[in-house]
Structures are given as C-alpha cells and as structure tokens.
Structure 1
Amino acid sequence: MLDLAIKGELLNACKKYAEQRLATATQAMHHAQQAANEEGKSSAGDKYETGRAMAQIERDKAAQQAQEALKLKQALDHLDGLHHHQKVTTGSVVATAHYNFYIAIGAGKMTVSGLDFIVVGPGSPLGKSLMGLTVNDAFTFNNQHHKILQVL
C-alpha cells in the first residue's frame, strides 16, 4: 500500500520535470535567437533571409515549448501533495494490482521511491476515465481490466 508521503514526492518530481522542460526550451530559444542575430549578410541575399527565417522558426517553436512548460508548472502549483482523496481527481494517486497512476500532468512514466508511476493529465483519455472513480471501481487500460485498490 502507498502512503501519503508519496504524493509530495510525486508532486516534487513533476515540478522538476516541468522546470527542466522550461529550462531546455528557454535555452533553445536563446540559442535560436543568437543564431538569427549572427546570420551575416552574404553575397547571396536570399541565403541570408532564409537563414534568419529558419532561426526565427526555431525560436518560435522553442517559445511555444516554453509556454507549454510554464502551463505545466502553473497547473502543478495548484496541487496539494498532502490532501487525501476519496475519489480520483486531479492530484490523486491511484494504485491497481499492475500500475500506479498520478493524475497531474502528462509526463509519462516516473520512478519515485523505487516505485513506477504513470503520470497523466486529467484531460487525457486515461485521466478522464479515472476521474471520479473510487476504491474497488474498475476501468480498462492497455486492453486490460483493472480494479482500483487505493486512492490517495
């Protein structure tokens, strides 16, 4: 059985994940901007414009990724790692015989305290199917039927 302390550890791991994504996107944005600034005028004017345009596209992609990472961070800031839930909701930890889930953000598989968790957003198909369920309720994941053993 999982204890309530795992929720705080999962929340912290998700925050680190979001911060890492934000830092990576910010760094990529900075590098793309530098590349655009350093693109020198050559005798072939079209080559200069193409190089700047490509760098601008890369910068815009990185800016969008940074914005998405910031949204993840903001969503996590609203979660409480200490509250015990009776029904599955955003911030819940769900245990089954085969999988452990954390309903927070779409981060995929994470290992915390030696345990594997599938971290999903509440708006994902799996997240939506889990929302509102309680202990002993059943759901389908990976074409397998699962029974909820614990909700934190």
Structure 2
Amino acid sequence: MQDFKTQVVEAVLALTDQRLDEAGTALRLAEEAAKDDTKSSAGDKYETTREMMQQQIDNNRKLLFEAGRQRAFLLQLPLAATATVSNGSLVRTSLGWFFISISAGQVAAGGIPVTAISQAAPLGRLLMSQIPGKSVTFNGRTFLIEEIL
C-alpha cells in the first residue's frame, strides 16, 4: 500500500507542477503585455489599462508563490504511516480516500480517486488525530475511518 501512497503524492505533485507552469506562463504573458502596451492619447484609459495589467501581474505572482509554497509543503510531508490521522496521512474511509496535505481536489492514483484536502479544511479538521474504527460526521454524512497509511 505504500506504493499507492507514493502514487497519490506524485499525482498531487503533478497537479501542483501544472499550477506552477500555468501561473508562470500567465505571469510571463501579463508582463510581456504590459511592456508592449504603448501610451494612447486617452490618458485616463491608459492609466486604467496599466492598473488592470499590474493587478493581473500581482495576482499571477501570488498564484505562482502559492503553488511553489504548496509544492514545498508536499515535498516535506512524512510518508510513513502513523497511528493517527496527521499531515501526510492517506486515509481510507467508508466514503472514499483522503490525502491530508493541500487542498487540491480529486486526483487519481492507480485508477482510484483520492481527494487531497488540507488539515485546515472542515473535513480535514474533523479527521485530524482520529484513529481507525472512529467516525466523523460532516454535512450529514458519516465517514468511518478504515485505514491510515
């Protein structure tokens, strides 16, 4: 099962790498567009356009920074199984698999869907420190913890 956990980590890393690439490309394109923009005769229009371009550049920088931070966090997660749910745990519940790491949504590993959630997410908070055999209820659904990898 450790191979399955490695596949999950690799799938989440691949998603994070994709986010890094997309944010980097968007940032590069926004910066190039800002350089190519020439001042028009309509001064207010020009200033508004420049401000919008700068906001787009700032947003892309934030996305790039966040994706890099998430990637670094993933690389530092312990892969060893633990007795209780913690950061880096792969948790099999009665309602599916959850990887406690970053909020990345659903990935597939070995054809099995796994939802990557943060410990700060509502369900993540409920799962933290739980052990197999315990259950948590979230949004009217009960998640029985069956296994922790």
Find the counterpart in structure 2 of residue 138 from structure 1.
135
- What's the offset of the Cα at 1:136? 0.1
Find the counterpart in structure 2 of residue 75 from structure 1.
73
- What's the offset of the Cα at 1:54? 1.1
Could you tell me how far apart the structure 2 residues matched to 1:45 and 1:98 are?
Answer: 58
Q: Gapped runs of 5+ residues in structure 1?
A: none
The percent identity for this pair of structures is: 33
Could you tell me how far apart the structure 2 residues matched to 1:135 and 1:43 are?
Answer: 68
- What's the offset of the Cα at 1:25? 0.8
Q: Gapped runs of 5+ residues in structure 2?
A: none
Find the counterpart in structure 1 of residue 113 from structure 2.
116
Could you tell me how far apart the structure 1 residues matched to 2:62 and 2:41 are?
Answer: 33
Find the counterpart in structure 2 of residue 51 from structure 1.
49
Structure 1 segment 3-18 matched on structure 2, within 5 A? 3-18=1-16
Task: Select which of 99, 111, 121 maps to 2:96.
Answer: 99
Could you tell me how far apart the structure 1 residues matched to 2:58 and 2:143 are?
Answer: 42
Find the counterpart in structure 2 of residue 25 from structure 1.
23
Find the counterpart in structure 1 of residue 122 from structure 2.
125
1:117 maps to a residue whose letter is V
Q: Is the 8 A contact 1:36 1:51 kept in 2?
A: no
- What's the offset of the Cα at 1:51? 1.6
Q: Give the paired residue count.
A: 149
TM-score, length of structure 2 as denominator length: 0.94
**Which secondary structure does the structure 2 equivalent of 1:140 belong to?**
strand
Could you tell me how far apart the structure 1 residues matched to 2:143 and 2:71 are?
Answer: 30
- What's the offset of the Cα at 1:63? 0.6
Q: Is 2:143 the partner of 1:151?
A: no
Could you tell me how far apart the structure 2 residues matched to 1:107 and 1:23 are?
Answer: 15
Moved over 3 A (4+): none
- What's the offset of the Cα at 1:98? 2.1
- What's the offset of the Cα at 1:74? 1.2
Q: Is the 8 A contact 1:101 1:117 kept in 2?
A: yes
